[in-house]
Amino acid sequence: MRSRTAPVLPVNGHQSCRQGRLSGFSLLELLIAITILGFILTLLFSAFRLAQQSWDSAERRMAQNNQTLAGRTFLENLLTQAYPFRWKKSPIQKFALTGDAEHLNLVAELPPFLGGGLQQAFLEVVPDENEREKFSLLFRYAPLHQDGVDFDVESLSEERIVIDKAKKISFSYYGRDPANPAPTPDAPRQWYPEWREARHMPLLLRIEIDNDPPWPDIYAAPAISQEGGCRWDDFYKRCR
């Protein structure tokens, strides 16, 4: 007879337990894996947060640039449309344009979304409410009274911000001496910090804007070709 050899069984199951331990993960390996995973997630979250901040910053800068560009376009159109209106009941028959470094009042034809037609327009430089050493340019308007003797503020509109958070905003005026009621043709022309009680219009208006990013100054010629006056053409919107 062929003898049978009985299989040798592990004593107390130690061999199977050793094989089970070899096929799994130790606690140290698990802790290392979790640490590496947390480090990777931290890097990913930081990169995502940085990208979001960059995107938000770019959007804010783009919105600010668009607002500044729209404000510049509005100001250029407003100054160009300065109407050579005289206060007929004024003792000196002065033109309806007066201002200094921080204020400019004029009569201009406003766009339809502001009511259209000739109206009083007021520009004022004021300190910014939220940031020190920053300035804003405000715009307001009011109906024009043909029988008035000067600008009035009885029915001013709500203020609108045209330029915001600029380091500097100032007005200046180019022409012959506004204090001279009858300047001669050879009288010198220069820039003046204010324009008051004038019997002639300035040749140029300038708005200096120190902004970030920097923008060139605004230059505009009012709708008048002569300092002594003109005959206004309502059809072509220019002096003749």
What pTM value is reported for the model?
Answer: 0.69
Residue 229: half-sphere exposure toward Cβ, Cα within 13 Å: 9
3-state secondary structure 208-237: EEECCCCCCCEEECCCCCCCCCCCEECCCC
pLDDT in tens, 155-211: 899 899 998 888 999 999 999 888 887 777 788 889 999 998 888 889 899 999 988
Taking phi over 0 as left and psi of -120 to 50 as alpha, with beta for the rest, 12 belongs to left
Q: Which residue is associated with the tokens 């920053």? A: 134
Instruction: Choose among 112, 107, 134: nearest CA to 122.
Output: 107
Q: How many whole angstroms separate alpha carbon 240 and alpha carbon 236?
A: 9
pLDDT in tens, 25-56: 788 888 888 888 888 888 888 888 888 888 77
> Which residues in 71-95 are b (16+ Cβ under 10 Å) and which e?
bbebbeebbebbbbbebeeeeeebb
What's the whole-number mean pLDDT along residues 212-231? 69
pLDDT of 132: 77
Decide: residue 140, CB within 10 A, 0-12 exposed, 13-18 middle, 19+ buried.
Answer: middle
Q: How many whole angstroms separate alpha carbon 214 and alpha carbon 179?
A: 34
Strand, helix or coil for residue 34: helix
Instruction: Choose among 99, 100, 119: nearest CA to 109.
Output: 119
Taking phi over 0 as left and psi of -120 to 50 as alpha, with beta for the rest, 139 belongs to beta
Q: Which residue is associated with the tokens 């990013």? A: 213
pLDDT of 74: 92
Instruction: Choose among 84, 132, 137, 76: nearest CA to 107.
Output: 84
pLDDT of 174: 93
Domain ranges across the chain: 62-239
